[in-house]
Structure 1
Amino acid sequence: MPLDAADIEAALFALLDNALAALGPSPAAAGPIVVTVGDEGGAPVISVEDGGVGVPAGLTGRLGEPFVTTKAPGEGMGLGLYLVRTLIEQVGGRLTVSARQPAGTRVALRLAPVDP
């Protein structure tokens, strides 16, 4: 089942929403959100990077699991990245979360390689 435009839009919306929330109450002071579209070994990659508060070290590997969130209680259910990860994995891709230095997070969607 290939991704359609609505799937990609929903995934990007979730990633951008998380990035904006990570910037806190003064987004302009935390720096820009950077969206990059590229290619790694024939596989399309879409990444969203922010300069926000970052992810606690113990949570980085768990983001994308259901009900895991960095947000305060009542601010998020921990399903956004889970739904994105599930969607991307259904088409042979993967979601990765990594810390940025000195602060922030990078979330990348690596899609399955495209046949020429």
Structure 2
Amino acid sequence: MVNKPSEIDAATIELGIPPFLLNLNLAVATDLSFLNIGLNKAVYVPRQVTDREGGRKSQYNLCKGETTQAGVYLAESGMMLRFVTRVTGDTKNAKTGDIFMEQYRTRDGRLIFEGTGVLKITDETSMTI
């Protein structure tokens, strides 16, 4: 039970629904019609890359096999969480040729979409992570 606003964070963490730090300034409109699930027009809001609580690790710094919850798709008809997993690669930072898996899931964890792709970094000088 929450009796005052300062107790909200602890209560949601105890319930297994910790808060996420989202960056609304980086939100973009997107078309998800390729999923054929009725969630066509949506807004993608990325989770903030930060060490602060509720943030996430950069996808480029994931270890092989590590997953991050990267953001959320929001639409009138529902929402989906976006997860990214580094499938291959033995270097600290991801590099061109590494394979990543992307998954879209419902809030309760049901898999909606899964796909893999090969990373191609077009400007190596910008990769000062």
Per the normalisation by structure 2, the TM-score is: 0.24
Which structure has greater helix proportion?
Answer: 1
Per the normalisation by structure 1, the TM-score is: 0.26
Structure with more contact order per residue of length (Cα contacts < 8 Å, sep ≥ 6):
1
Which structure has greater strand proportion?
Answer: 2
- Point out the structure with max Rg over C-alpha: 2
